[in-house]
Structure 1
Amino acid sequence: MEPVHLFGLLNLQRGWLSARQSIVSQNIAHANTPGYKAQDLSDFAKVLDKSAGLQMATTSASHQSITPSGESVSAKDGEAWEVSHSGNDVSLEAELIKAGDVRNNFSMDTNVLKTFHAMWLSSLKG
């Protein structure tokens, strides 16, 4: 079993969360721009699969192989909740939900780091 690199995982997720927050704020800023299409990032799980390079092991030639999806941290068109007459599909409600998700995930990451740090200190104290 390979070690889990907690700080590396949290750093990767924080980078993804920062990029997503930037795109959410860009979508909100262009809420009234005619023809603007809302953007979003691919799921973090897909980014993690690509960066970790994890693949399922096959023990027989008859097993099917599954390759990583190849997703990256790049913007893609988001789901349109509604499209206005000007062609703009930014929904402020959807963007605020995404911003709340980003905030909750940052908070969770911080709590995980605090807990890990406390466990580490208690193990050093004996």
Structure 2
Amino acid sequence: MFEPLAVTRMAHALAAHSATRQGVIAANVAHADTPGYRARDVEDFTETLRRMNAAPPRTAADPRLMPVAPGGNLSPNGNTVSLDTEMIKAVEARHHFDLALTITRSVGGVIRTALGR
């Protein structure tokens, strides 16, 4: 009967994407000294959003895990985790989560105002 607004669906997907990315980043940091561990990340949110829009309504697409290209940061034990890079990614994920939360709060405020509450 009631379909969620597209903007709230997108904000929910962004929050879920950010939470998943934060978990992957935490796993990378936890394995920073594990020999042979390859750093991972999730696909960009635009890809997740594209799949979500292609799916039937009410389906939230989960972000997909992917390995990070090792670049020049391969340690002698074969580990590709760079703590500096992981901290930058953690700040980005936090920023995206805060953005999703702000959007959700704003939409809720608009709806409450429209209802006269």
TM-score, normalization: structure 2? 0.82
After TM superposition, give the deviation of residue 79 of structure 1 in Å. Answer: 3.1
* C-alpha distance in 1 between matches for 2:25 and 2:116: 43
Q: Distance in 2 between matches of 1:28 and 1:79?
A: 16
Counterpart of 1:76 (choices 66, 77, 80) is 66
Residue 117 (str. 1) matches residue 86 (str. 2): no
In structure 1, distance between residues paired with 2:31 and 2:49: 29
Kept in 2: contact 1:42–1:72 (CA 8 A): no
Identity of aligned residues (%): 27
- Runs of 4+ off more than 6 Å: none
The one of 68, 73, 88 equivalent to 1:97 is 88
Is residue 30 of structure 2 the alignment partner of residue 29 of structure 1?
yes
* Greater helix proportion: 2
Instruction: Provide the alpha-carbon RMSD of the alignment.
Output: 2.1
Task: Indicate if the aligned counterparts of 2:74 and 2:80 stay in contact, CA closer than 8 A.
Answer: yes
**Which residue does the alignment assign to 1:17?**
18
Q: Which has the higher contact order (CA 8 A, sep 6+)?
A: 2
Normalising by structure 1, we get a TM-score of 0.76
Equivalent AA in structure 1 for residue 68 of structure 2: G
Is 1:106 the counterpart of 2:104? The answer is no
Gaps of 5+ in 1: 55-70
Contact kept, 8 Å, 2:37 with 2:79, in 1: the verdict is yes
